[in-house]
Amino acid sequence: MSTEFGANVFEFGDSAGRGEWEIGHYRQHLRYQVVLASLANPIVIPDFPIMRIGENKNEVRVWLDTHENLHTLLRGFANVNGINLSQVDLSDPNEFYQWMDSHNLEHAILDAIFGVA
């Protein structure tokens, strides 16, 4: 099975690229849920509202916290560790790109473990 999360990077400030990324990223998380739900002993993860990052600081903060909670759950099932993906200021270009690299690495690991790479 190949990943749908092909466009895994967008440029800082690129709202159209961000929109494409948000959809691909959300669908990739759904694929992890499908893999876990199809196990001999199914693991059902509820749908986390991570489709859209949001426009204001509060919406971004809620998204980051919710997204981190989902990654924490997935790490447990994958038996891996990761950084706290909620600890970032996405309005800072340097932090944005560092976060994107760390996030992409974690997704590559999850893709491999869950067999969607």
Give pLDDT tens digits along the chain (117 positions).
444 455 567 888 888 889 999 999 999 999 999 999 999 999 999 999 999 999 999 999 999 999 999 999 999 999 999 999 999 999 999 999 999 999 999 999 999 999 987
Asked if residue 1 belongs to a domain, the reply is no
Asked if residue 4 belongs to a domain, the reply is no
Contacts of 88 (CB under 8 A, 6+ apart): 64, 95, 96, 98, 99
Asked if residue 2 belongs to a domain, the reply is no
Range of the domain at 58: 15-114
Asked if residue 9 belongs to a domain, the reply is no
Reported pTM = 0.90
Report the number of distinct structural domains present in the chain: 1
Asked if residue 70 belongs to a domain, the reply is yes
Asked if residue 47 belongs to a domain, the reply is yes
* 76 token code pair: 């447990």
Residue that is written with structure tokens 């990324």 in the block:
21
Asked if residue 76 belongs to a domain, the reply is yes
Asked if residue 56 belongs to a domain, the reply is yes
